[in-house]
Amino acid sequence: DIQMTQSPSSLSASVGDRVTVTCRASQSISSYLNWYQQKPGKAPKLLIYAASSLQSGVPSRFSGSGSGTDFTLTISSLQPEDFATYYCQQSYIPPRTFGQGTKVEIK
């Protein structure tokens, strides 16, 4: 299985901050990388697919980059509704695997 490792596991940030979350794959996955946001008690929500494509309806402050093994999710200006847990997921080969999550908390 391809292992997905996110860093950091958690971070504290303020409204308006630029936030970056990193995801590393245990082998090259080209651009087959997706990002999700999850709030407590809710299902995950797709933000970014194919490493850098913004899902319809997602604010443009979210962006993704990377290819191969190293990927980044960036929130350009953190908003109150962005405090949540973020997950990466590889879609290169089954089994489809997720990172362990990065919790973004209010500073």
Partner 1 sequence: QVQLQQWGAGLLKPSETLSLTCAVYGGSFSGYYWSWIRQTPGKGLEWIGEINHSGSTNYNPSLKSRVTISVDTSKNQFSLKLSSVTAADTAVYYCGRGNNYGGRSGIAFDIWGQGTMVTVSS
Stretch that binds partner 1, among 15-23, 63-71, 72-80, 85-93 (CB under 8 A): 85-93
Strands 70-75 and 102-106: unpaired
Closest approach, Cβ 82 to partner 1, in A, equals: 19
User: Smallest gap, in angstroms, from Cβ of residue 7 to partner 1?
Assistant: 15
Give the closest residue to 20 by CA, choosing from 75, 82, 66, 59: 75
DSSP letters spanning 15-72: TT--EEEEEEESS--TT-EEEEEE-TTS--EEEEETTTEEPTT--TTEEEEEETTEEE
Hey, what are 65's tokens?
Answer: 């980059």
State in angstroms the smallest separation of the CB of 3 from partner 1: 12
User: Nearer Cβ to partner 1, position 19 or 51?
Assistant: 51
**Toward partner 1, which CB reaches closer, 75 or 90?**
90
Per-residue binder mask for partner 1 (CB under 8 A), 15-54, x = binder? ----------------xx-x-x------xxxx--xx--x-
